[in-house]
Amino acid sequence: MSAQNLLVELFVEELPPKALKKLGDAFATVLADQLKAQGLAPADAAVTAFASPRRLAAHVTGVLPRAADKAVSQKLMPVSVGLDANGQPTPALLKRLGALGADASAVAGLKRAPDGKAEALFYDSVAPGAELAAGLQKALDEAIAKLPIPKVMSYQLETDCELPGWSSVNFVRPAHGLVALHGAQVVPVKTLGLTARNTTQGHRFEAAVSPVVLKDADSYAATLAKDGAVIASFAERKAEIARQLAAAAAKVGGGCQPIDDDALLDEVTALVERPNVLICEFETQFLDVPQECLILTMKANQKYFPLLDAQGKLTNRFLVVSNISPADASAVVGGNERVVRPRLADAKFFFDQDRKKSLASRVDGLGKVVYHNKLGTQGERMERVRKIARAIGQQLGGDVLAQQADTAAQLAKTDLLTDMVGEFPELQGIMGGYYARHDGLSEDIAFAIEDHYRPRFAGDELPRNMTGVVVALADKLETLVGMFGIGNLPTGDKDPFALRRHALGVVRMLVEKDLQLDVVALLKSAVPAFGALITDPSAALSDFIFDRLAGGLREQGYSAQEVDAVLALRPSRLGEVAKRLAAVRAFAALPEAPALAAANKRIANILKKSEGEVAEVKDSLLVEAAEKDLFAAMRSTVPAANAKFDAGDYTASLQALAALRTPVDAFFDGVMVNADDPALKANRLGLLRELHNAMNRVADLSRLAT
């Protein structure tokens, strides 16, 4: 029997939609990998994963009915243990051979080969290749065992189960069918109380036949589509939904587009087996509610796709992805319109009720909301954020910015007490901006309240104005300093207070806004706001911030050496880091760079061992020609390099220092730093210290040495 394609399907009750894609990919990948590991499938076998709400399946090409036999060489034992002085087998050797199915006649065929310090005996044999039924059984068991199941459930097997004695099964959902086809042949494997067949079930309501009979492995997807009304491929079903969404939006016209949300598209793909997109609408009166509220309730609660007009504004139309395709879809459309109406009415009610109270009137209520048992209430937290924000605002923009930041910080958390945010926590900040405008506050304050959580995730936009930047910085610093100050640090993959994300947010604002703030001083300045509640964590927190910065820079394509060289100096202004990295990269490309980096490393080691012996350089103590030449070269080169550095031209500063390569090499070739005369030694160490300080203003160049 020749190699043929294999199809395995596990038919189950509706799988958790948010996990479906991962489950389908994992099932197919592990199954195929196990077949390849046993030699039943070639290494380049094509693997296709299928996943629908009620099935996980995998198609693997070129699967053999039986794997090829494999030559095996097994180490038995040292020769000194296996053979006696006369070369005869010892009882230990005969016992080991017997365990392998051989006898004394195999002794003559044993091979001798060195194994470390001693010579060992090796037994060569041929291991028979795995049969497909046994190999697939092993692969199937492994695939099911390694499924990333979010939550296991237990269920009772049916009384006519083909595996008597089983009473219950633990799996993600009850399983009702198993298909295993090698070409057209059923492979007799079993799992979860099921035995493989060549039949499955199609769409719950619209299948043409039941059961769906599969002719062979290769006809799986086509047969399910034709007889079962199911698009088995997750990717194909997703593409079909996207196509229908675009077509429906075009039908509505006016430049409308469905909201772009890949996570929602994945979730809906996992909810339907035969997608049918329908156009629905709601009353225009609901458009008076902020569109973020309506969009969120339609997406989160109903899995609908809101339609936006050409300007990105919400329309009163939305798209539903139905799992049925009736000739007259009016009942489906009407049902969905009836279902969404109470949701939108709730949003409107919350919005109307919330606006009856100003944000300022809610400030006192923050004192009744616990933030952390060691750090007090949200009211106390708000006061700390205000202090930090005022200080940052004063430093960046004087009294005006400090006052604006104070007002925004005082009101930023008050929307946590509103009905809308209570129902939809994802809208915190956003609703605060709307309510601030309703209260007559300026756009500057409203934007700051809305943006103070930004950036919420990697790639998110930064706050739109400086007031928002100040409050966002203060908010994140309060969280970082507070949590570090009580020892509540992230560990491994656990970070319940999102401290890594907060640290990256601080880094991004300091870098991308090029703020004139010293990062270490900024951390220290936030500590007094906590009084006696915490111990000063600024040193550990500074390390944490720079670690996050280093990781982010490496992800941007900078080498570890470049990043280490720049961050070793702990630059006070993070906005300069990019310029310093560019300068280091340009310097590293110079032919003089390797020698100067190596010399820099050597100088650092010398100075580290000579603390207390360094003196100011005196011309009169420069004896050797090489040290005189180096001193003269530094006097002509270093001032120009420093001038470029002070002007912010770090690239030119480092390139100017490249001229020191020849005198530096000559110095180390012709001058003994550790001279017998203490005065000469101290003077030469002073010369090296001046050189070291001059060369390491932009970055620690010794980190570039290989």
For residue 220, the enclosing domain spans 4-66+131-227
Is residue 469 within 8 A of residue 375, CB to CB? The reply is: no
Residues 110 and 163 placed together within one structural domain of the fold:
no
| pTM for the whole structure | 0.81
pLDDT digits (tens, 9 = 90+) for 222-273: 999 999 999 999 999 999 999 999 999 999 998 999 999 999 999 999 999 9
Cα 519 to the center of its chain, rounded Å: 26
Is residue 405 within 8 A of residue 390, CB to CB? The reply is: yes
Lowest mean pLDDT among 171-180, 221-230, 520-529, 673-682: 673-682
Distance of alpha carbon 142 from alpha carbon 357, whole angstroms:
59
- Domain assignment present for 528: yes
* pLDDT value of residue 373: 94
When pLDDT is averaged across residues 142-156 and rounded to a whole number, the result is 89
* pLDDT value of residue 103: 84
- Domain assignment present for 578: no
pLDDT digits (tens, 9 = 90+) for 598-632: 999 998 888 888 877 778 888 888 888 998 999 99
Residues 453 and 344 placed together within one structural domain of the fold:
no
Crossing angle of the two packed helices 499-512 and 538-555, in degrees rounded to 10:
70
Among 76-90, 452-466, 609-623, 673-687, which range has the highest average pLDDT? 452-466
Residues contacting 326, CB < 8 A, separation 6+: 332
How far apart, in Å, are the Cα atoms of 472 and each of 279, 380, 389, 395, 465?
A: 40, 17, 9, 15, 11
- Domain assignment present for 583: no
Residues 98 and 58 placed together within one structural domain of the fold:
no
When pLDDT is averaged across residues 13-42 and rounded to a whole number, the result is 95
Residues 145 and 22 placed together within one structural domain of the fold:
yes
- Domain assignment present for 367: no
- Domain assignment present for 621: yes
Residues 681 and 616 placed together within one structural domain of the fold:
yes
Residues 406 and 496 placed together within one structural domain of the fold:
yes
Tell me the HSE value of 644 on the side-chain side, using a 13 A CA sphere: 20
* pLDDT value of residue 564: 95
* pLDDT value of residue 158: 61
* pLDDT value of residue 161: 45
Of 387, 386, 395, 404, residue with least CA distance to 443: 404
Residues 207 and 312 placed together within one structural domain of the fold:
no
pLDDT of 303 higher than 60: yes
Q: What is the mean pLDDT of the chain?
A: 93
pLDDT digits (tens, 9 = 90+) for 624-680: 899 899 999 999 999 999 999 999 999 999 999 999 999 999 998 888 988 888 899
Confidence of residue 162 (pLDDT cuts 50, 70, 90): low
pLDDT digits (tens, 9 = 90+) for 62-73: 999 998 888 778
* pLDDT value of residue 164: 54
* pLDDT value of residue 166: 54
Number of structural domains found in the chain: 5
Sheet containing 4-12: give its strands across.
Answer: 47-52, 55-63, 4-12, 175-182, 185-186
pLDDT digits (tens, 9 = 90+) for 351-404: 999 999 999 999 999 999 999 999 999 999 999 999 999 999 999 999 999 999
**Among 227, 253, 288, where does a domain finish?**
227
- Domain assignment present for 570: no
Q: What is the CATH number of the domain that holds 540?
A: 1.10.3210
pLDDT digits (tens, 9 = 90+) for 198-230: 999 999 999 999 999 999 999 999 999 999 999
Lowest mean pLDDT among 119-133, 528-542, 689-703: 119-133
Q: Are strands 55-63 and 4-12 parallel, antiparallel or unpaired?
A: antiparallel
Confidence of residue 562 (pLDDT cuts 50, 70, 90): very high
- Domain assignment present for 574: no
Q: Cis ω on the peptide bond leading into residue 211 (within 30° of 0)?
A: yes
* pLDDT value of residue 130: 86
Residues 518 and 612 placed together within one structural domain of the fold:
no
* pLDDT value of residue 109: 81
* pLDDT value of residue 72: 78
Residues 323 and 279 placed together within one structural domain of the fold:
yes
Distance of alpha carbon 319 from alpha carbon 273, whole angstroms:
17
**Among 541, 557, 573, where does a domain finish?**
557
* pLDDT value of residue 591: 92
Read off the tokens for 116: 């470390």
Residues 437 and 509 placed together within one structural domain of the fold:
yes
pLDDT of 523 higher than 50: yes
Distance of alpha carbon 653 from alpha carbon 639, whole angstroms:
10
Residues 50 and 161 placed together within one structural domain of the fold:
yes
Residues 536 and 616 placed together within one structural domain of the fold:
no
Confidence of residue 153 (pLDDT cuts 50, 70, 90): confident
**Among 557, 574, 607, where does a domain finish?**
557
When pLDDT is averaged across residues 512-531 and rounded to a whole number, the result is 95
When pLDDT is averaged across residues 106-116 and rounded to a whole number, the result is 83
Q: What is the CATH number of the domain that holds 660?
A: 1.10.730.10
Percent of the chain with pLDDT over 90: 79
- Domain assignment present for 239: yes
The 3-state secondary structure of 28-90 reads HHHHHHHHHHCCCCCCCCCEEEEEECCEEEEEEEEECCECCCEEEEEEEEEHHHHECCCCCEC
